[in-house]
Structure 1
Amino acid sequence: MTDTELATKAPESDAQETTPSAAPATSAPRLSDHCTSSRPTPAGQSGTGEITTLGDIDVYISKPSDYPHTPSKLLLLLTSGTGIRSVNNQIQADRFASEGYVVVMPDLFGGDPAPNTGNMMADEPTTPGSFLDTFKIKAAETAKTFLIDMWLARHTQEKVLPIMYKVIDSCKDEFADAVSTGGGIYAVGYCFGARYVLLLGGERKEMPAWQGFSWASPTSAPQDVEADKARTVGPFIKAGALAHPTMVSPEDFVGLKAPVTVVAVENDPMCPDEVRMGLEDYMSKNNVEHEVQVYPGVPHGFAVVGEYDDVNIQSAQSTAFAQMLKWIKEH
């Protein structure tokens, strides 16, 4: 791939943790159509896994064809707002499964995917319309923004994190062999789900959302601290990969420990440059092993399975998958 920006840092054992500098305020939208709608599904393809329950949470599970006869690792796949019933998300999970991972894709939204979830039509050129047409389009956009804001209010960090903790806890029982094979749990996330890779990869003060969570994990355990101080928990994953994250703030970087690779979009309004650069700066200063690759000329959401006519986007999609796969395989 051409014109990409790559930054890799190795951790040092005696690093001093610092806090990230505050990112400038931004009025950018929090979700785009690529976060709430799927591209047309590749012809002739469909999900090969199954939707079941794990810890009372609906999940899509995809396994390698030779599992459990051949050892496999456990991978969480955290989706955009389109959720686990999106065929494209299922195909994405299947692709990781074909590479030797037991993939668990949890329903982060309790059966309530983002408004207007469905297939996006291929991009068509727009032509100027009448004032009434323009008014109707603006009204529809305003209504959609309102619906998405209401949806986001229903799916806050306080609601989503406990879902993931239940699934992680259940995975340690249901797929103990895969967790043991990988020496922990891996995670990849797209759009909405990408932010939660950062949260799962961090060490943070214990919050009410963690109540009832089992700490018998190869990757995390509570630390003994003074009685008057909150104990810390995490990281919950061994390594992570995230693609075109949305709604990330500097507070999400604090405590990050797990090595991560980031697929970023150049000039992405969903993840402004100052946020991405703030994350890079934090990881560098705190010696968190990381890799950030910026892809020019592609839309937000491009790394998720879906048809694009532009061969450059098609190539970037393949390159992004290879980047994420290589990272988790090497860690």
Structure 2
Amino acid sequence: MSGAECMKNPPTLNSASGIGNLQEIGGLNSYVSGSIHSKLAILLISDVFGYEAPKLRKLADKVAEAGFYVVVPDFLRGDPRIPNDEKPLEVWIIDHGPDQGFEDAKPVIEALKSKGVTKIGAAGFCWGAKVVVELAKYAYIQAAVLLHPSFVDVDDMHAVKVPISILGAEIDRRSPPELVKQFEMALNAKPEVDAFVKIFPGVTHGWAVRYNDEDELAVKSAEESHQDMLGWFEKHLK
């Protein structure tokens, strides 16, 4: 379902991509899973390929089962990057900067608070990781998880104010292990901020939500990253 179609139709169950439903939250079409009565919310912020990714929605459902109200907003506003698109990422990103995602996240967070949510965690994948780290720098959220981050640098780590977990891939040109270890060193210099950094061996950038179902190692590693993410939120939000 495209963003335009979402706007034309009322929220409906979307069993093809998960057990949740589509709602507008903070002005953005969003996939929502879990009890509206939960006081604990999790934002899952997608990579450049958008919020409709089936594995991302399955992950939202898994997190919701742990008692969280989970929201996956369409920060790309119905215009995700198309796989194998001839347009270079550097061109596409001009109109889809993580800085805009950060601004768009603020009304989503306010909308959640207006529903009675008292604590919010956020996990970002690739592109979404930069949005999450910006939220963590200004304490709009209470816990952060970055999975195979892009556009994130060491200076971001120096400014983080909330507990943060970084889950990286061994094979990753955007955030190679050397850079992730620099993130860890910067966070270690901030004892007031709880931090957890882990590099997953044998996996590539995007493995947490774009793994091959036929690849046993990839599936196992993705599930391990999901458990690490969920454990971080349970530690710092419950």
Shorter-chain TM-score tier: 0.7 to 0.9
Question: Per-residue deviation at 1:80?
Answer: 0.7
Specify every segment of 5 or more residues in structure 1 that has no aligned partner in the other structure, as ranges. 1-43, 117-140, 203-233
Q: Distance in 2 between matches of 1:99 and 1:165?
A: 25
Q: Distance in 1 between matches of 2:121 and 2:132?
A: 9
Matched, 1:284 2:188: yes
Question: Per-residue deviation at 1:189?
Answer: 1.3
Question: Per-residue deviation at 1:275?
Answer: 2.1
Percent identity between the two aligned chains = 28
The structure with the greater share of residues assigned to strand is 2
Question: Per-residue deviation at 1:157?
Answer: 3.4
Higher RCO (Cα < 8 Å, 6 or more apart): 1
Matched, 1:57 2:24: no
- Aligned to 2:76, which of 82, 88, 109? 109
TM-score, length of structure 2 as denominator length:
0.85
Question: Aligned Cα RMSD in Å?
Answer: 2.0
Offset from partner CA, 1:37-70 (integer Å, 9 cap, x none): xxxxxxx973111122112211111114xx53xx
Output aligned runs, 1:141-180, within 5 Å.
144=86, 146-173=87-114, 175-176=115-116, 179-180=117-118
Question: 1:63 corresponds to which letter in structure 2?
Answer: G
- Count of aligned pairs between the two proteins: 221
- Aligned to 1:238, which of 142, 146, 164? 142
DSSP 3-state at the match of 1:247: coil
Matched, 1:296 2:201: yes
The structure having more radius of gyration, on CA atoms, is 1
Question: Per-residue deviation at 1:306?
Answer: 4.6
- Aligned to 1:271, which of 169, 175, 190? 175
The residue that corresponds to 1:186 in the other structure is: 121
Question: Per-residue deviation at 1:317?
Answer: 1.3
Q: Distance in 2 between matches of 1:259 and 1:73?
A: 16
Q: Distance in 2 between matches of 1:72 and 1:252?
A: 28
DSSP 3-state at the match of 1:271: coil
Q: Distance in 2 between matches of 1:114 and 1:171?
A: 27
Specify every segment of 5 or more residues in structure 2 that has no aligned partner in the other structure, as ranges. 1-14
Output aligned runs, 1:31-70, within 5 Å.
46-64=17-35, 68=37
Question: Per-residue deviation at 1:172?
Answer: 1.0
DSSP 3-state at the match of 2:204: coil
Q: Distance in 2 between matches of 1:266 and 1:106?
A: 28
The residue that corresponds to 1:82 in the other structure is: 49
Question: 1:246 corresponds to which letter in structure 2?
Answer: S
Matched, 1:324 2:229: yes
Matched, 1:197 2:132: yes
Q: Distance in 1 between matches of 2:178 and 2:212?
A: 30
Moved over 3 A (4+): none
Residue 49 of structure 1 contacts residue 61 of structure 1 at CA under 8 Å; is this kept in 2?
yes
Question: 1:99 corresponds to which letter in structure 2?
Answer: A
Q: Distance in 2 between matches of 1:93 and 1:265?
A: 21
Question: 2:178 corresponds to which letter in structure 1?
Answer: E
The structure with the greater share of residues assigned to helix is 2
Residue 50 of structure 2 contacts residue 76 of structure 2 at CA under 8 Å; is this kept in 1?
yes
DSSP 3-state at the match of 2:104: helix
